[in-house]
Amino acid sequence: MTSPEGAVEGGLDEPTGLEPEQGSLELLGPDDDWQPADWEKATAAVLRKSRRMREEDPDSLVWEKLTRTTLDDIPVTPLGTASLLDDLLTAGRPARAGDWDVRAHLAAGPAKAGNEALLVDLEGGVTSVWVEADAETDLAVLLEGVLIDLAPVVLDAPTAPGAVAEAFLAHAGDTDLAAGTNLGVSATAPADDLVAVARLAAERGMLGVVVDGTRVHDRGASDAQELGWAMAAGARALRVLTEAGMGVDDAAGLVELRLAVTDEQFASIAKLRAARRLWARVLELSGATPGVVAQRLHAVTSRPMMSRYDPWVNMLRTTVAAFAAGVGGADSVTVLPFDAPLGRPDAFGRRIARNTSHLLIDEAHVAHVADPAGGSYAVEKLTDDLAVAAWEVLGRLDTPEGPDEAALEEMVARTVERRDQQVATRERPLTGLTEFPNLAEELPEREPYDGWSGVRSYGQAFEAMRDEPPAARVLLATLGPVAAHTARATFATNLLAAGGVGVDVAGPTEGPEDLVAAHDGHTVVCLAGADAAYDEWGQGAAEALRAAGATHVVVAGKPREWADDSCAMGVDALAFLTRTREALA
């Protein structure tokens, strides 16, 4: 698979070992006469009614209006059609048959408390455990009572992989370890550590290496960047192990891939499918024997998508992500507890996390359908597009020493900037944080821990503002009766709350004097009313409030020359809130 310099060679042709299928499924019955033009016409009518299209625009414009572009510049059309699969060979379909492995995660911490959490998880139905450890961790205490012959243990010891692996094997003794047990050395660990742990794993017939794409996902990488990095890291591990004398089939048999899944379900489904195609191609170019090495894919619900504020929404996010992981064919799924961003998860958070998989498997029967997304025009196309984009990233990252971290950092920085802009303008809304925030909520208290270090939350700028709310409040200067101002008043209230800013509402008013009566030393006021009210007495209201002591006047709606600032749909919420907080200060 490598050139003399050690870089991956070859394109993303169909990989050996995956069964490609050509063409599309015919989903229409013999009597159906539906045509795309019918959908265009109906959809165009809706867009014209919402003023997103003009009357003179052709119906076909709906494709451009509704096609969205991912952070990897992959266009996603609003409707999957058979033509998307013209001349397309699809691969990467799930091989898992039956229930996925429900894997609980345990962050580093006191061994006794960790042991209690693991035993409760296992009693509650998890089927494997993923434990963080270091050279000081007492594995005998941590794993006391854990039936390691039945429940696979996956180690995660970045600072001391060799010492922890040896300690685990010493604890295991002559026990026949459960299939799927993994000594967990990182694919990008120093070569000596990688080879030493891999040899220990090979001697015991277990897994030994983890290609952990969640590491770069946590820093803000896009799907293609995470996949490309994972392939580069996996290729590096194969190079190091084969150069140390291990056969390529033996080396590949030690590897498990770990990837993040988010609440963007179709992208996550396609991501796991693309991962199988990509890894099969890497193995083919490495000279692995086709069909001998079984791929192992571990999906983890995304950390960055979760929020410290209104953390209950994290239950919904992780449920959608776990659903995508199951549909995408992950062999193992870890649902992170909803309260993990707040500190060490408590028993309730861990129970909800493991029960998410149980509900999807036992009640929704997601695991009982072979490849639920198979044949979906949109998913098959997105899988192919994502695989191609990730292969291009691999070509830019792969070096003899492993992934080019400088090149990765440059890519991720651009992605982070783009995502941050979407979050700032609420094009990418975060429920409970940038949308529908609750300033009166009382957050659950959790024990501090390091489990979230290195995670760049998608909403971190808004979380930072919520962490330090201003003492002063904004007067919501509502113009006219409630029915006339409620829409814009609600919009402004929610927008200000996203920045930790509270409001005092004037209520029904008939003129500037009513607003002045509601004014109580507020330096910032936000006028909220109908355009007709702005035209009639908005300027007079602003002048009266300034005379009463207001120094910064905002209008909810389009900019007005008599106001200092404005807010409406599409506003850069982060910039607006920053200005408003500065005015309050």
Q: What is the mean pLDDT of the chain?
A: 93
Domains of the chain, by residue range, sit at 101-407, 468-584
User: In this structure, what are the phi and psi dihedrals at residue 554, rounded to the nearest 5 degrees?
Assistant: -115, 145
For tokens 């394109």, the residue is 11
| pLDDT score of 272 | 97
| pLDDT score of 20 | 52
**CA-based R_g, the chain, Å:** 27
| pLDDT score of 1 | 47
- Which of 86-100, 326-340, 457-471 is least confident? 86-100
Between 388 and 30, whose confidence is greater? 388
According to DSSP, the β-strands at 565-567 and 153-156 are unpaired
- Burial group, residue 405, by CB count within 10 angstroms (0-12, 13-18, 19+): middle
The model carries a pTM of 0.93
What is the tally of helices (H) and strands (E) in the chain?
A: 20, 17
Bridge-partner residues for 497, per DSSP?
none
From the list 247, 249, 268, 251, the residue with the least C-alpha distance to 259 is: 268
- 14 pLDDT tier (thresholds 50, 70, 90): low
| pLDDT score of 13 | 66
Q: What is the mean pLDDT of residues 256-264?
A: 98
Element (H, E) at 497: helix 482-498
**What is the per-residue pLDDT across 319-366, written as a single tens digit (0 to 9) for each?**
999 999 999 999 999 999 999 999 999 999 999 999 999 999 999 999
Instruction: Tell me how far apart the alpha carbons of residues 136 and 124 are, in angstroms, rounded to a whole number.
Output: 28
Other beta carbons within 10 angstroms of residue 153's beta carbon come to 25
Instruction: Tell me how far apart the alpha carbons of residues 455 and 341 are, in angstroms, rounded to a whole number.
Output: 9
CB 433 within 8 A of CB 578: no
Q: Does domain 468-584 have CATH number 3.20.20.70?
A: no
CB 102 within 8 A of CB 88: no
Look at residue 371 and tell me whether its pLDDT is greater than 90.
Answer: no
Half-sphere exposure of 521 (CA within 13 A, CB side): 3
The CATH number of 101-407 is: 3.20.20.240
**What is the per-residue pLDDT across 400-441, written as a single tens digit (0 to 9) for each?**
899 999 999 999 999 999 999 999 999 999 999 999 999 999
